[in-house]
Amino acid sequence: MAKDIFHNKVKTALQKDGWLITHDPYQLRYGMADIYIDLAAEEAIAAEKEGCKIAVEVKSFVRGSTISQFHTALGQFLNYRIALEISDEPERILYLAIPKDTYQMFIRFEPAKTVIERYEVRLIVYDANHEVIDQWIN
């Protein structure tokens, strides 16, 4: 399984943000197929988020057409969300991790903005250069 080029940077950013990485990758059975979400994490010792579990699909948006990559990422996200809902851990919340520059130049504008809102895609916007989370968008 090939990892996104920013996989380790997002992993480091999540750890800096206080998350404990529990799976790398997070494997799920979906029908007859196995799927692999990039990361799974739990909040490490934070009372306000105690027990919160997340799964994170990492995307870099560095190759080819941004709109084409967005369509692929959205399709993966929606399929992974369904797989999580029917898994042993339906409480785990799925996020799509995207680079800060992609968010600023594409995702926060139409038509991507409407699609993100309509399908309730939760985002982690990360700064790959500094390996930090820039913002969480629920």
Which residue(s) pair with 39 in the sheet? 56
What's phi and psi for 46, nearest 5 deg? -140, 110
Quick check: is 1 in a domain? no
What is the 3-class SS of 14-58, one letter each residue? HHHCCEEEEECCEEEEECCEEEEECEEEEECCCHHHCCCEEEEEE
Task: Quote the domain boundaries for residue 62.
Answer: 7-137
- Provide the domain count of the chain: 1
Give which of 100, 75, 85 is closest to 55, Cα–Cα.
85
SS3 75: helix
Residue 46 pLDDT: 46
Mean pLDDT of the chain: 90
Least confident of 1-10, 66-75, 101-110, 113-122: 1-10
- Residue 122 belongs to domain with CATH number: 3.40.1350.10
pTM for the structure as a whole: 0.91
Quick check: is 25 in a domain? yes
Mean pLDDT, range 23-38, rounded to an integer: 91
Give which of 43, 44, 26 is closest to 35, Cα–Cα.
26
Quick check: is 89 in a domain? yes
Specify the higher pLDDT residue, 128 or 44.
128
How many other CB atoms are found less than 10 A from the CB of residue 111? 9
